[in-house]
């Protein structure tokens, strides 16, 4: 084997196959570990939801139980679109793009999927129309829902975190959402699961930060390309799908 351009190893087909088979052992191991983790998630203790949460939806005011829409399982995407935002977070928007076609398949497995944000419903629906999405989106404005699941924080707390920060990705993201850094950081991305049994609602799982990458289908694909995610030193590359510069095509 020898080093090619970009310091990559260049070898024969036989050398590639030998290395590939060695890697395949680890990939299969990762798959088995993933299956074990999924089982452990399902076996987490369930927490009964006693508080009455209220959401503004296209069908009017609804409770958390109403959001199940006749199914026994509910997945909630905590989408970063706070009351002070003019547009949804670009990163959350990239997740929404990749999940748009999955909703009907989840429905077939007794799962309702809904996005929840604290912006007023009219803002959410206007942004959904701009993006061309059709999934259910509801507003939790005026409810403790996002706060109780650690997906929102008061602006005073966020302001303390960003004090002295006047440049960088956080400032850029806030500007892209039409708000200030403290306003942007009042929200966090997340995914939560709930179960409905005999009329009672239970919280079964939540994740945030990198745990939400499961909703960003382009990342596993990038991980399988020659350059990978290629994000080092490139700044924030993710844009809303209608904001990318399109190359000229013949």
The DSSP result for 186-235, as a single string, is TB--EEEEEEEETTEEEEEEEEEGGGGGGG-THHHHHTTSTTTT--TTS-
DSSP three-state, residue 62: strand
Stretches in the chain below the pLDDT threshold 50:
250
pLDDT, tens only, 182-233: 999 999 999 999 999 999 999 999 999 999 999 999 999 999 999 898 887 7
Q: What is the DSSP letter of 152?
A: B
Residues 189/92, Cβ–Cβ less than 8 Å? yes
Q: Which helix (H) or strand (E) holds 159?
A: helix 155-162
CA dist 172 and 184 (Å) reads 10
Q: Quick one: which of 91, 136, 98, 89 has its CA closest to 116? A: 136
Query: CA separation (Å) from 91 to 5, 38, 81, 144?
Result: 33, 25, 11, 24
User: Per the structure block, which two tokens stand in for 11?
Assistant: 């070898």
Q: Quick one: which of 192, 97, 209 has its CA closest to 140? A: 192
pLDDT at 250: 46
Q: What is the DSSP letter of 61?
A: E
CA dist 111 and 28 (Å) reads 28
pLDDT at 66: 98
Q: What is the DSSP letter of 69?
A: T
Q: Quick one: which of 214, 211, 221 has its CA closest to 188? A: 211
């Amino acid at each position: 084997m020898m080093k090619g351009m970009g310091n990559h190893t260049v070898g024969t087909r036989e050398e590639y196959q030998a290395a590939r088979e060695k890697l395949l052992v680890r990939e299969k191991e990762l798959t088995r570990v993933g299956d074990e983790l999924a089982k452990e998630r399902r076996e987490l203790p369930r927490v009964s939801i006693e508080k009455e949460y209220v959401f503004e939806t296209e069908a009017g005011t609804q409770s958390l139980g109403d959001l199940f829409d006749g199914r026994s399982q509910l997945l909630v995407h905590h989408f970063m679109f706070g009351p002070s935002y003019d547009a949804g977070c670009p990163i959350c928007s990239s997740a929404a793009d990749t999940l748009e076609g999955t909703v009907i398949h989840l429905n077939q497995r007794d799962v309702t999927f809904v996005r929840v944000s604290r912006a007023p419903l009219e803002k959410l629906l206007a942004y959904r129309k701009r993006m061309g999405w059709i999934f259910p989106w509801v507003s939790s404005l005026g409810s403790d829902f996002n706060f109780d699941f650690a997906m929102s924080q008061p602006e005073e707390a966020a302001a303390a975190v960003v004090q002295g920060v006047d440049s960088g990705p956080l400032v850029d993201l806030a500007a892209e959402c039409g708000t200030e850094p403290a306003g942007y950081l009042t929200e966090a991305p997340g995914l939560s699961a709930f179960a409905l049994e005999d009329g009672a609602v239970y919280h079964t799982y939540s994740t945030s930060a990198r745990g939400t990458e499961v909703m960003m289908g382009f990342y596993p694909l990038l991980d399988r390309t020659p350059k990978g995610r290629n994000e080092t030193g490139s700044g924030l590359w993710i844009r809303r799908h209608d904001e990318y510069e399109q190359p000229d095509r013949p």
